[in-house]
Amino acid sequence: MSARERLVESARELLWERGYVGTSPKTIQERAEAGQGSMYHHFASKQDLARAAIDRTAEEMREAVDAQLSGPGPAVGRIAAYLRRERDVLRGCPIGRLTQDPDVMATPTLRGPVEETFAWLRARLAAVVQEGADHGELESSVDPDSTAAAIVATLQGGYVLARAAGASEPFEQAIAGILALLDARTVR
């Protein structure tokens, strides 16, 4: 892995673990086993490196979600598979955790990919819900946009509840709850 790649990967891990403020350039360099000169050769600032790290995380998240939601099977089944996929619940969502970082949210360059990723996720889920309605799997009265927003809010809120409890059960309950609500709108 090149020095640039090691810096981006180290920044990704540290942003997830510590947030933007808690991630110093020195810590990134140490984890990446790269010197200060190397870091500033590839990136003009910590903010530029953080943007590259956030972009990479967002891209990987979109690819994984899209692959799962584009798979075979009924719409509700694909949504359920996405929500129930294996994840490190107590670490939280690497993009969602950034919303709790005031410096990320106050910096348009860093906030942009976070906002775009959640907009994409809501739109992608809304498309799957619409597909379910169009194929008669879900009631035609289901609002795809509201349903997608509820799914994303439940997923992100589930992470918060699990982290607060120090256990994955609240996350699992939140997912079971949203899936039960979705199931209630399934055409039998």
What does the DSSP assignment read for 104-156? HHH-HHHHHHHHHHHHHHHHHHHHHHHHHHHTTSB-TT--HHHHHHHHHHHHH
pLDDT tens, 30-54? 999 998 888 999 999 999 999 999 9
Domain 55-184 falls under CATH 1.20.58.340: no
> Is 34 in contact with 3 (CB distance < 8 Å)?
yes
Using only C-alpha atoms, the chain has a radius of gyration, in whole angstroms, of: 19
pLDDT tens, 100-152? 999 999 999 999 999 999 999 999 999 999 999 999 999 999 999 999 999 99
Indicate the DSSP class of residue 91.
G
The whole-number average pLDDT for the span 155-167 is 97
